[in-house]
Amino acid sequence: MPAKEADGDWLDNAGIVDGPRRNPATTVTEEHPRSILSFNKSPDIPFDRSINAYRGCEHGCIYCFARPTHAYHDLSPGLDFETRLFAKPAAARLLRETLAKPGYRPAPIAMGTNTDPYQPIEGRYRITRRVLELCLETRHPVTITTKSDRVLRDLDLLEEMARRDLVAVGISITSLDPSLSRLLEPRTSAPAKRIAALGRLAAAGVPVHVSIAPVIPSITDSFLETILAEAAAQGVRAATWIIIRLPHEVAPLFREWLETHFPDRAGKVMATIRSIRGGRDNDPDFFTRMRPDGVWADLFRRRFRVAAQRLGIGGPQIALDCTAFQRPALDGQLSLGI
């Protein structure tokens, strides 16, 4: 395996911040599925198809709702999810095969819905980049969600796609405190780097919004207004927020994290979460799972709305072009007459 490129992420520079330490070993298994495009009919999410180039995520966010998916591999949603990763190097080829089918009809493909397309191993595998190259070639629209400024490594593609109304990017920021970020999401890009990436994308004409996600009561909610202000200062004019979700094994993992790092307020945090989830740690039900309820949810909603209005920030207006799609031929050449 080639030497790791230091990119400023917390564990890459842990020796500078915390002194010498041993990082858990990360292994990557190449996976060869028969298809890469996943379709869904969920009424709670604004897309019907997605690509996940990787399983597991090196970012190590303690709150990640995707952690339970590792159980399908008989691996733990805890450390295994962060260190025993799966990559799908044939993703672009598989997508080409799908797009070439006569019955395929284009609609925006969501990337970053389960695990981050720009987690550290993307620097070696470049699967996300190859998928974007194919989408630019075929004029297929894409949305991207990430917690990493590595998205800027594909700025050349994103600029060209943006000129053709083929891409929109969301960068997720949880807090602006580097120490807290290091505890919550140890291998994500530092908050300041994500703020700067928002500005680079906005300046390049790439449709971009900031996603304040997740909002964790009594842990990160104090940053709600300041994240909006920092994003607005970078020229960002769209934002969303998402309250924390704790499905399946994520809840006990998060409880343990709270007791370790915030024992003084762990009970308050969980009581607030339960109050917005109908008395449960998590609401798994369609139509309500993405819509927190109760006094605390109303307070967060009102704070977000007031701050966004003051800063001139609205919701993302993602209007991507599905009419320019050019069906590819399987030999790599675009089909004639389309």
Quote the CA–CA distance of 172 and 240 in Å, as a whole number.
9
Beta strands in 106-155, from DSSP E residues, in sequence order: 109-111, 142-146
CA–CA distance from 74 to each of 71, 79, 90 (Å)?
Answer: 5, 13, 23
- CA-based end-to-end distance of the chain: 43
pLDDT 10s digit of each residue in the chain, 338 long?
Answer: 333 333 334 344 444 333 334 456 889 999 999 999 999 888 778 889 999 999 999 999 999 999 999 987 889 999 999 999 999 999 999 999 999 999 999 999 999 988 999 999 999 999 999 999 999 999 999 999 999 999 999 999 999 999 999 999 999 999 999 999 999 999 999 999 999 999 999 999 999 999 999 999 999 999 999 999 999 999 999 999 999 999 999 999 999 999 999 999 999 999 999 999 999 998 777 767 778 889 999 999 999 999 999 999 999 988 999 999 999 988 655 554 44
Q: What is the pLDDT of residue 287?
A: 66
Could you give all domains of the chain from N- to C-terminal order, each with its CATH number? 17-311 (3.20.20.70)
Q: What is the pLDDT of residue 2?
A: 36
Q: Which of 237, 236, 272 is nearest to 254 (CA)?
A: 272
Identify the burial level of 303 via C-beta atoms within 10 angstroms of its C-beta, where 0-12 means exposed, 13-18 middle and 19 or more buried: middle
Query: Global pTM?
Result: 0.89
CB 216 within 8 A of CB 183: no
Q: What is the pLDDT of residue 283?
A: 78
SS3 percent helix, strand, coil of the chain, rounded to 5, is 40, 15, 50
